[in-house]
Structure 1
């Protein structure tokens, strides 16, 4: 289901694979400015991440989540947010994806989009950190959004979100075009979302 892949790619910028795998539907609360992702299981520390609307609908994380939620019929707040699909019929099952499966979904989306390098579950997080740094956010701000410890050794370029939700690294990422270093692992999600093979 393309809606699941799209939503996972843009929201994986804010959470690790194991953090997303644990999430229930209720952990994505809608707010006037977007959604708040409650990442309650983390190898660093639990956190609530404000996710704003993106200016580009094709890679907006809020719209992507809403489309997936409606298409999958996610009405039970205690149900898994990221569900398995039936191998043959591709219907949505009650069981949730494992962390490794989330990474696989992201990688497969990159392959279908024709990206020559290996696109992984960590690639959107790297992209978010790099975009945020280019926008002038400091390491502490970036670390909050991505769940890194605010030390140079623990963050890639690195550190994530302002608690106000007005100027977050998410906004920086969703408002930029393709990354100038698109040949590296930090490939812009727009490359996948707007690729001919994923429409």
Structure 2
């Protein structure tokens, strides 16, 4: 993704404010799909560029969405005790953020990748679509921390030619509980190189 416009804006801020040591330009937006424009979801993107007077300091790309999750713990216990998958679905708000000193990822592509990795919420009007959606969610149940690791690893592998080993990937999740009085929060912050190493995949970063 071209960063010239963000860099130019930040440089202009610095030039007009001599007392400032650094400048940050931020763009945020809520994303509405063309096929479902009435759906008021949580799909959001953010990009930002931070510069000091010696050059680029930090580039940030971020995407957020809402998904339905079925956690493995309740599902597995139910199958063991009752031989049936009694469990519940939860609403999950998830954000993935990539911080780099050289590369600015396309936030819309990042959002689409996030949606493809999860059971992203949408408005289903047909019962067959609802059933298919729930079937996929139940068949791909997992623990929250595993889901955060899956998303972060997929981002690094897909964007390996745009990331450096020291670039940071942050995955934050909030699960809105229905059986407990508290919500579940997960934060995974790691380097690109660490994720590739833990995934067991050899990759050459450019």
TM category, shorter: under 0.3
User: RCO higher in 1 or 2 (8 Å CA, sep ≥ 6)?
Assistant: 1
Give the number of the structure whose alpha-carbon radius of gyration is greater: 2
TM-score (norm 1): 0.28
